[in-house]
């Protein structure tokens, strides 16, 4: 099978490439090498892969990239909470417009193969909550006054008792609460529309908190695990917001890549949303301590209070659909994965020379806003 992996030089995408190559597939990569995440060609590029340097937002580049392919693994996206709302044009251009251009190119090529989309748990907004007296509750966004007073958890709107977080299934209502989340949900909707019109199987893998080797360092567009790792490497303590008891599901990148490979090949195809997670939630404070464990020189985590706009309190996955539909269960336990990640290389500038034409990688077919990095 010939698979196009957009964003295939990035964190998750490069691991997807590794799994597909190991399974004997022919792989083509389209990647912008976006400066906020890359500083040159990464050292883990593979000689047997057909790399195309350019943007999913550029029609000519994408038309050439999709020619003759059998399946698409769409990983290319701008991720994370970013710096502030001023990032919105970049998020929409890279994620929404880029996906639209990709799908238009597939339409022009009359493509009916599989599309596996890298989606995210951020589309849920808050996770799922239950009150012992009133059942499942869908909480409103947290009140700024309560947050300023250090009251982090959601109360039941009926009785005021603190709600209990429970795993969120794929059928839970979506409620994106950040620009990034809104673009990921729009990607799902665009891909689903393409699938319905063309009879193409579309799987949206909703990644929970992915961590592992090749994460970019020192960027607001990385996940919390990479931000903590970067701080530790720099001799700074990981700074933990709120009380550190926010619960997330941390899933190793190798498991995420394996889920992608399964979704691209399993028969019959699995359509719709699927959570990709470990199934075992941990707190942000547990993450920070896991990354400093066994490192006597590392400063201990600091719980600093405060909160980030757009952050939710708890969100972790129900994993039954991944197990039943894909036959997927995460294999890397939290403790072992974090031990490896604590010493794994984060993505830095490669000594490999840029390929011809690579100096112009930001030529994407649209005018980038002046505030872009």
The helix (run of H) or strand (run of E) holding residue 130 is: strand 128-131
What is the rounded distance in angstroms from the CA atom of residue 373 to the CA atom of residue 368?
10
Instruction: State residue 221's pLDDT score.
Output: 54
In the block, residue with structure tokens 């993505």? 347
pTM of the prediction? 0.90
Instruction: State residue 117's pLDDT score.
Output: 98
Answer yes or no: are the C-beta atoms of 17 and 8 closer than 8 Å: yes
Q: In whole angstroms, how large is the CA radius of gyration of the chain?
A: 20
Instruction: State residue 274's pLDDT score.
Output: 98
The helix (run of H) or strand (run of E) holding residue 248 is: strand 247-248
The CA distances from residue 48 to 20, 51, 76, in Å, are: 12, 9, 20
Average pLDDT per run of 10 along the chain, which is 373 residues long? 97 97 98 77 94 95 97 92 80 95 98 98 95 94 91 95 97 92 97 98 97 80 81 92 96 98 98 98 96 89 88 94 98 96 72 33 27 27
How wide is the angle at C-alpha 216 spanned by C-alphas 213 and 221, nearest 5°? 130
Instruction: State residue 370's pLDDT score.
Output: 27
What is the rounded distance in angstroms from the CA atom of residue 80 to the CA atom of residue 220?
7
Strand, coil or helix: 13: helix
What is the rounded distance in angstroms from the CA atom of residue 233 to the CA atom of residue 231?
5
Nearest Cα to 77, choosing from 246, 210, 177, 200?
210
What is the rounded distance in angstroms from the CA atom of residue 2 to the CA atom of residue 222?
30
Nearest Cα to 113, choosing from 6, 59, 194, 18?
194
Answer yes or no: are the C-beta atoms of 298 and 305 closer than 8 Å: no
In the block, residue with structure tokens 């996770």? 127
β-pairing, 71-74 with 114-120? parallel
In the block, residue with structure tokens 């929404």? 96
Beta-ladder partners of 114: 71
Half-sphere exposure of 351 (CA within 13 A, CB side): 0
Nearest Cα to 66, choosing from 97, 25, 35, 107?
107
What is the rounded distance in angstroms from the CA atom of residue 155 to the CA atom of residue 82?
29
What is the rounded distance in angstroms from the CA atom of residue 92 to the CA atom of residue 99?
10
Instruction: State residue 251's pLDDT score.
Output: 97
């Amino acid at each position: 099978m010939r698979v196009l992996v957009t964003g295939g030089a990035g964190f998750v995408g490069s691991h997807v490439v590794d799994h597909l190559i190991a399974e004997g597939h022919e792989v083509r990569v389209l990647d912008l090498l976006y400066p906020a995440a890359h500083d040159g060609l990464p050292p883990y590029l593979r000689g047997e892969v057909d790399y195309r340097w350019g943007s999913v937002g550029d029609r000519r580049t994408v038309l050439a990239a999709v020619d003759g392919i059998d399946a698409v693994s769409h990983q290319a996206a701008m991720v994370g909470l970013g710096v502030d709302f001023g990032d919105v044009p970049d998020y929409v251009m890279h994620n929404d417009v880029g996906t639209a251009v990709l799908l238009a190119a597939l339409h022009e090529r009359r493509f009916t193969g599989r599309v596996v989309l890298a989606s995210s748990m951020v589309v849920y907004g808050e996770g799922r909550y239950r009150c012992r007296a009133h059942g499942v509750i869908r909480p409103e966004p947290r009140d700024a006054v309560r947050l300023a007073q250090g009251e982090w958890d959601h109360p039941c709107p009926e009785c005021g008792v603190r709600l209990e977080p429970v795993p969120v299934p794929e059928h839970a209502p979506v409620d994106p609460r950040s620009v990034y989340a809104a673009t990921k949900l729009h990607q799902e909707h665009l891909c689903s529309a393409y699938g319905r019109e063309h009879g193409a199987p579309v799987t949206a893998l909703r990644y929970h908190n992915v961590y592992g080797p090749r994460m970019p360092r020192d960027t607001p567009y990385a996940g919390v695990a990479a931000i903590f790792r970067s701080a530790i490497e720099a001799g700074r303590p990981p700074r933990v917001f709120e009380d550190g008891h926010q619960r997330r599901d941390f899933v190793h990148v190798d498991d995420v890549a394996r889920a992608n490979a399964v979704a691209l090949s399993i028969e019959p195809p699995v359509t719709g949303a699927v959570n990709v997670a470990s199934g075992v939630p941990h707190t942000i404070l547990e993450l920070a301590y896991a990354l400093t464990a066994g490192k006597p020189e590392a400063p201990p985590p600091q719980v600093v209070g405060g909160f980030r706009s757009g952050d939710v309190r708890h969100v972790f996955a129900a994993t039954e659909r991944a197990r039943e539909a894909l036959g997927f269960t995460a294999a890397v336990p939290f403790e072992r994965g974090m031990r490896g990640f604590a010493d794994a290389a984060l993505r830095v500038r490669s000594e490999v020379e840029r390929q011809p034409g690579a100096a112009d990688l930001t030529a994407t077919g649209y005018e980038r806003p002046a505030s872009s990095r």
